[in-house]
Amino acid sequence: MASHAKIMPAPAKTRGFVKVTDGIHVFIGGGGTTDFGLVLTDDKPVIIDNDIRVREDFLKGMRRFTRKDAGLVLNTHHNFDHTSDNGYYTKRGAVSFGVELAKQEMRREWDAGIWVKQMAGRGPRVDHLIGKLDISPPMVTFEDQIDIHYGGRHFQMIYIDHCHTKGDTVVWMPKEKVLFSGDLLTYRTHPVNRLGNFMNWIPALDLLKRKFPAKHIVPGHGPLPPRGTKIIDENKTFLARLKTRTAAALRKERSPASAAKLVQMPEYTRWFRAQNVPNNALKMAKDLKKKR
Ligand SMILES: [Zn+2]
């Protein structure tokens, strides 16, 4: 089966700001690192996710579009590489928004002493921040959905489910039909699933497709995909294959660790973070076992 499957092409190596549509831009992290949204409004700009390690490059790029400080900061989920610079913006007057679960997850990691440390060993480097960086959870939180009207724009922040993390939320701009998916979607970049649940993730992708007639989707990681929702199909095919192959492996090997070693994803070797395959197979095996 796998030997006949099409090898997926390598993603573009873009880094820096890319225009999504009028007044809406995305800073592409490059190499499968995190992407950040920038939406210009009649008032101050709105930013979607942030990372202290990318602050200088992000701000330098943002200054080409506006001299104003951010007015709002929207968090798609709690992970360090999406929220670690909230404090920089809120100290300069921004109001931050996120699902209540994201705030709780930031607090949990802070209390466990792992807030910064868990990022060590991955790029960009984080070691110099260990012991020096506080959390700055979203100031305004919500349970399921919040509608924000600001500077002539309408943002809907909608909690989806526990997929990549407990608090996976999207930012939907209904007028412009732009969806910021957070890490529910990555483009040609292997997902990370340390804290999530693959059993919820696959149906959540169907929900995204049904619920949001998106013209443009901005993923959490990877380059900006072509217009439309094909990125959702690609992510779903990837997860469905991972699930089928892991389930087959679990019929041969009982323990998730042994089963995961049998799982291969040869069509996706050119995607960013291909080294995640063993971890994703192991997590899939554990989630499949739990379901039974
Ligand atoms: Zn991420």
Domains in the chain: boundaries:
13-229
Tell me the CA–centroid distance for residue 185 and ligand 1, in Å. 10
Tell me the CA–centroid distance for residue 61 and ligand 1, in Å. 20
Q: pTM of the full predicted structure?
A: 0.96
Question: Strands 153-161, 145-150: parallel, antiparallel or unpaired by DSSP?
Answer: antiparallel
**H helices present in the chain, as ranges:** 55-62, 80-83, 86-91, 100-111, 198-211, 230-252, 256-261, 277-291
Instruction: Give me 97's structure tokens.
Output: 């928004």
Tell me the CA–centroid distance for residue 183 and ligand 1, in Å. 5
Burial class, 34, CB count within 10 angstroms (exposed 0-12 / middle 13-18 / buried 19+) = buried
Q: How high is the pLDDT of residue 97?
A: 98
- Structure-model confidence comparison of residues 202 and 118, the more confident one: 202
Tell me the CA–centroid distance for residue 86 and ligand 1, in Å. 15
* pLDDT for residue 132 is more than 90: no
Distance of alpha carbon 199 from alpha carbon 285, whole angstroms = 11
Length of the chain: 292
Tell me the CA–centroid distance for residue 1 and ligand 1, in Å. 31
Tell me the CA–centroid distance for residue 84 and ligand 1, in Å. 11
Enter the CATH code of domain 13-229: 3.60.15.10
Tell me the CA–centroid distance for residue 220 and ligand 1, in Å. 6
Tell me the CA–centroid distance for residue 83 and ligand 1, in Å. 10
What's at 150, amino acid-wise?
Y
Tell me the CA–centroid distance for residue 193 and ligand 1, in Å. 10
Tell me the CA–centroid distance for residue 230 and ligand 1, in Å. 20
Tell me the CA–centroid distance for residue 152 and ligand 1, in Å. 29
Q: Which strands form 153-161's sheet, in the order they lie side by side?
A: 145-150, 153-161, 168-173, 178-186, 216-221
Q: What mean pLDDT is reported for the chain?
A: 95
Nearest of 253, 271, 273 to residue 262 by alpha carbon: 253
Q: pLDDT tens digits for 239-257? A: 999 999 999 999 999 999 9
Q: pLDDT tens digits for 28-45? A: 999 999 999 999 999 999
Crossing angle (nearest 10°) for helices 198-211 and 277-291: 100
* pLDDT for residue 2 is more than 80: no
Tell me the CA–centroid distance for residue 290 and ligand 1, in Å. 25
Q: pLDDT tens digits for 138-163? A: 999 999 999 999 999 999 999 999 99
Measured from the Cβ of residue 108, the count of other Cβ atoms closer than 10 Å reads: 14
Tell me the CA–centroid distance for residue 89 and ligand 1, in Å. 19
Distance of alpha carbon 270 from alpha carbon 48, whole angstroms = 28
